[in-house]
Structure 1
Amino acid sequence: MALYSIGDVAERCGINPVTLRAWQRRYGLIKPQRTEGGHRQFDDEDILRIEEIKRWVESGVPVGKVKALLEGGNVNIHDGWTALQEEMMAVLRLVRPSKLRTKIATIGREHPADALIDHVFVPIRQRLGLDQNTARVMCSLLDGAIIDYVAFCLAGSRKKPGKDALILGWETEDRTRLWMEAWRLSQQGWRMDVLAEPLAMPRPELFPGQQLFVFTGKPLSRRQQELITHWQDQGFLITHQHS
C-alpha cells in the first residue's frame, strides 16, 4: 500500500498543508497514520476522502458540517459562503484590526485559497465598494489585513521547494487583488514575489529568464493579447493570470 507525506498530498490535491492539519485537528475530518517519528502519512483512501471534503467545501458547505455529510448524515446545507461573508462583515463592523487579522488567519487555515478568494474576499470587496462612505473605510481595512496575511503566506511558501515567479499588475488599480492572485499561484507550487505597483506597460526585458504573471483584472484587450504573444515569441516567460 502506497503512503504519502503531507507535502505529497498537498501538492496532489491542491490543498495547503496548514488546511489539511486544520481539517484533522479541529474538525476530525481525516485521520492519517503516523510514522515512528510522528510524521503524518496518508494512503489512497485518505486522498479520496480529502478530494471529497474539498468538493463539499468549494460548493459552499461550512467545514463544520462536512463530517456529518461524509458519514451519511442528513444535514441542512445552506450557502456556507454567504454565512462566512456575513461573519467577516460582522468582524469588519467592529473596526478592530487585530480581530480581523485573527479571523482571516483562521479561515485561511480551514479553506483553500481559491475558494476564499472567489467566494469570500472578492464578493465582500465588491459589496463594500458600492458604498461611498463608511463601507469604503471598512474595505480599506480589509484590504490591509488581506495583504498582511497573503504576505505572510507567500513568505512561508518561498521557504519550500518550488518554482520562482513574479506577478505584476497591468492597467489595473486593484493592488489587493494582485496580492490575492499571487496567493492563488503560490498554492500551485510557485514561489511568488509581487511587483506591488501596477504598470501601464510591462517590460519583460527587465526580468530575463524569470517567469512572469500579469494580472489585468479583466479579459485581455486585443492589443494586450498581441503584446503577450509577441513577448512569448521573443522567448519571455510571461503568462496572463486569469481571475
Structure 2
Amino acid sequence: MGYEKKLYAIREISEITGVKPVTLRAWQRRYSLVQPQRTEKGHRLYTDEHIALIGEIQGWLSKGVPIGKVKDVLESNEPNKGEEYLASEQLDEVRAFLQALAELNKGKADSIVATVFKEYPLDVVKKQFVKPTEKALSVVKIGLRALQKGLMESIFVARLNAIIESENKAAKSGKCLFINYDSVNIHARLWALNLSESGKSLVIIDGIEDLSGLVEHEGLCAYAAIAIYSSRPLTAGQTTIVEKVKSSFSGEVLLSDLIDA
C-alpha cells in the first residue's frame, strides 16, 4: 500500500507557520524559495518538507540574514555560511528607506515598506526594520525629524490598515473590537496586525480616553474579543474602567504590554 504525502493549501501553511500567503508567494517568485506543487488549476500545495524548510528560513531571518541571501545559505555546504551575513541587526532596506524619508520621497518610501511587509515575517519587520529606522530618526535634526517621522507614520499606518483589511476577509476567529487609547500610530497598528494574523477580524477605534461606555454595552455581544492598546501606563481611573470591562464582557480581553504590566 503506497504512502501518500499530506498536502496543504497555502492558507493552511500560513496558519501552521505564521507566514502570510503573500510572503510565501514573494519568497517563491523573487527568491526561488519554497517551491510548492501545483494542482491542475494552478493552486499551490505544500508538504511537511515545505513546513520544515519554512522553519529554517524563519530561523535565518530572525538571526538577521537578508531574505535575498537565505537561498545561498540553505544550499551551501559550508556549515558557517550564514555567519557572514549576521553582522548587521537591520535589514538592507533600512538605509534606502531613510534616504527616501530624507528626500520626502513618499512613492519610494511606500514601495520599500510594501516590499518589506511582503517578504519578511512581522517580528523581523518590527525588530530589524521599524526599530533601527526609529533609532536613526531619533538623532536627526529636530525640524527635519518631525517631517521624516510624520511621513514614516503616514506610510506605515496606511500600509498596515490595508494589510489588516485584507486579513479581515480571511479571519476565522471571530470579531475583535480594538480600542486604542492613543491617537493613530505605528505601534498600535503593529500590535493590531499581530492580532489580525492570529485570525481575528478587527474593528479599530482610535483615540479613546474613556472606556466607561464599553461597560455592559449591548453591542459587544457581536464580538468574541476586545483588545485594548496604550503606549503609556494607565491612570488609576482608567485601570478601574478596564477591570469593569473585563468583568462585564464574556469574551476574551487582550491588553497591550504597558496595560498588562
- TM-score, length basis structure 2: 0.83
Instruction: Quote the residue 2:72 is aligned against.
Output: 68
Look up the SS of the partner of 1:165 in the other structure.
Answer: strand
Is the contact made by 2:90 and 2:132 (CA closer than 8 Å) also made in structure 1? no
CA distance in 1 between partners of 2:71 and 2:234 (Å): 42
Moved more, 137-146 or 127-136: 127-136
Give the aligned partner of residue 10 of structure 1.
14
Structure-2 residue corresponding to 1:95: 104
Percent identity, please: 25
* Matched residue, 1:117: 126
Query: Secondary structure in 1 aligned to 2:206?
Result: strand
Q: How does 1:34-53 map to 2 (within 5 A)?
A: 34-53=38-57
Cα shift at 1:184? 1.9
Q: CA RMSD in A?
A: 2.3
Deviation track 1:134-177 (CA, whole Å, cap 9, x = no partner) reads 0110010011000111111112112214222122223x456232
> Would the aligned equivalents of 2:180 and 2:228 in 1 still touch at CA under 8 Å?
yes
One-letter amino acid matched to 2:230 = T
Residue 180 of structure 1 deviates from its aligned partner by 2.0
Distance change in 2, residues 1:225/1:58 (3 Å)? farther
Aligned with 2:227: secondary structure? strand
CA contact (8 A) 2:100 2:106 kept: no
> Is this contact kept in 2: 1:228–1:239, CA < 8 A?
no
Q: Based on CA coordinates, which of the two structures has the bigger radius of gyration?
A: 2
2:114 counterpart residue number: 105
Q: Once structures 1 and 2 are overlaid, which stretch shifts more, 208-217 or 98-107?
A: 208-217
Change (3 A) 1:29 1:231: same
Distance 1:57 1:154 in 2: 23
* Dislocated runs of 4+, deviation >3 Å: 200-203, 218-230
3-state DSSP of counterpart to 1:197: coil
> Is 2:180 the partner of 1:166?
no
Length, aligned pairs only: 242
- The one-letter amino acid of 1:158's match is N
- Change beyond 3 A, Cα 1:126–1:215: farther
> CA 1:197–1:85 in 2, change beyond 3 Å: closer, same or farther?
same
Give the counterpart letter for 1:179 in structure 2: R
Which residue type is aligned with residue 17 of structure 1?
P
Match of 2:246 in 1: 232
Structure 1 residues 234 and 173: CA distance shift in structure 2, 3 A: same
Equivalence for 1:189? 199
CA contact (8 A) 1:168 1:178 kept: no
Secondary structure at the residue paired with 1:239? strand
CA contact (8 A) 1:168 1:212 kept: yes
1:3 corresponds to which letter in structure 2? Answer: L
The 2-side partners of 1:37 and 1:61 are apart by 35
Q: Alpha-carbon deviation of 1:45?
A: 0.5
Q: Give CA-to-partner distance per residue, 1:188-214, whole Å, 9 cap, x none.
A: 112222212242446423442222111
Cα distance, 1:130 vs. partner?
A: 5.1
Using the size of structure 1 for normalisation, the TM-score is: 0.88
- Structure 1: unaligned runs, 5 residues or longer: none
Letter in 1 for 2:68: G
8 Å Cα contact 1:30-1:50 kept in structure 2: yes
